[in-house]
Amino acid sequence: MSSPSGAGNSGVMLPVLRFFLSTLPFLAVLVYLLYMAVQRGYEANEGDVDAGHDDMFSLMDTTIVFLVLHVFWTMFVMYLLVFVPKRRYLLDRYLREGESTLGDVVVENSSRRLGMRFLSFRTYGYAVYGHPTKVDPPVVVQKKVRIYQPWTRERVTILRLPNRPLSGQAKSDIEIDLNQMRSERDSTLCYISTLSIFWVFFSLGGAAFCVYQMGAIGDDFLVGNEDAELARRVLLLVAGINPFFAFVVNGIRYVMYYNWMVRWGASVEDEKDARNVKSKNWCNYNDDAASFDGSDQIPYSILGEDRSFAGTVPSHTRSLPIASANPAQTTSGKETHLTVSSIEEDGGALRVFPWTNP
């Protein structure tokens, strides 16, 4: 039987192994292009004037391929070394400085996603909570958030940054996200960063070698669009501005992420409209009166508790059964009971609430 530490190490190395194997095809192609560049040098030394005429890629094209990969890998390394730590610091601020309030988290209908977001595997939802300053009349904040518990939740803790009323995030989702990022930092992130840095230098070195070959074989053996002087200028330009360009791109990405987390949201005066979000369901149920899991309306008056449910909130917008020993007692002015089922951690439980027939 394997030890727990061995199982943990295998779990850590599996994402790194997948990342490494996914880059092997690109490495094989680039090594082949470098091999063809070396062959061009041998043919030029032998005085073969037809050297390079049968190559699929010229040395200039190969240089551009390496430089394009160099740009993308530099942006990815900058993402790992700059964007990820700044995102982790922002999430940590929520736990250190966040102001607590109660609100709801409603799952987003994935069929409503547009553009590239339709292909995303991430789960999004809407946090709904009271605006901290707009209380006369009361205003509710509706904010799209990333969620890690893909079900509708009611009366959960919402954290807001100080003086940022639209920055509400569910505390449980913040904790899950931050815990995952810390685990990656202590395990897989260092290995993936090392492999990415290798690709940065390998792509830059491959481009430099192709430029060197164009100068070494001489102008008499250059074909097509090969130009040693132009390739040298392009190499120096890309290598010089690429770190700054990668930093700016990741900076813009972080600003957009920060605005989405902290500043973007909608203030809604009608509390019912703020919760009118159709939730994802598994059987294509479509009814404007009530959603499949009751996430379009979350009535506090029925639940009457300051707690969070472990699963999807059942629909309370439909007619509910009236529990009574004698049906004749349902006449005007007679008190009966309303039976509401809620999902508990240990299974289903029935709760009875007093109800007066008008």
- Strands of the sheet containing 347-356, edge to edge, are 322-323, 335-344, 347-356
Structure tokens at 81: 């070394």
Q: Mind giving me the DSSP string for 99-158?
A: EEEEEEEEE--GGG--GGGGG----EEEEEEEEEEEETTEEEEEEEEE-SS-S-EEEEEE
Distances (CA, A) of 272 to 265, 275, 297: 17, 5, 7
* Gap between the Cα atoms of 148 and 150, Å rounded: 6
Query: 67 with 234: CB under 8 angstroms?
Result: yes
Distance between CA 249 and CA 102 in Å, rounded? Answer: 36
Q: Which of 236, 196, 219 is nearest to 59 (CA)?
A: 219
Longest dimension (CA), the chain: 109
Threshold 0.85, pTM exceeds:
no
Task: Round to whole Å and give the CA distance between 44 and 36.
Answer: 12
Rounded distance between C-alpha atoms, residue 45 and residue 42, angstroms = 5
Cα separation, 41 vs 51, whole angstroms: 9
Per-residue pLDDT tens digits of the chain, which is 358 residues long: 444 444 445 556 788 888 889 999 999 999 999 998 888 877 766 665 555 555 567 889 999 999 999 999 999 999 999 999 999 999 999 999 999 999 989 887 665 555 555 555 678 889 999 888 887 788 889 899 998 888 888 889 999 999 999 999 999 999 999 988 888 777 788 889 999 999 999 999 999 999 999 888 877 777 778 888 999 999 999 999 999 999 999 999 999 999 999 999 888 877 777 777 654 433 333 444 334 333 333 333 333 333 333 333 333 333 334 333 444 444 444 444 444 444 444 444 444 444 444 4
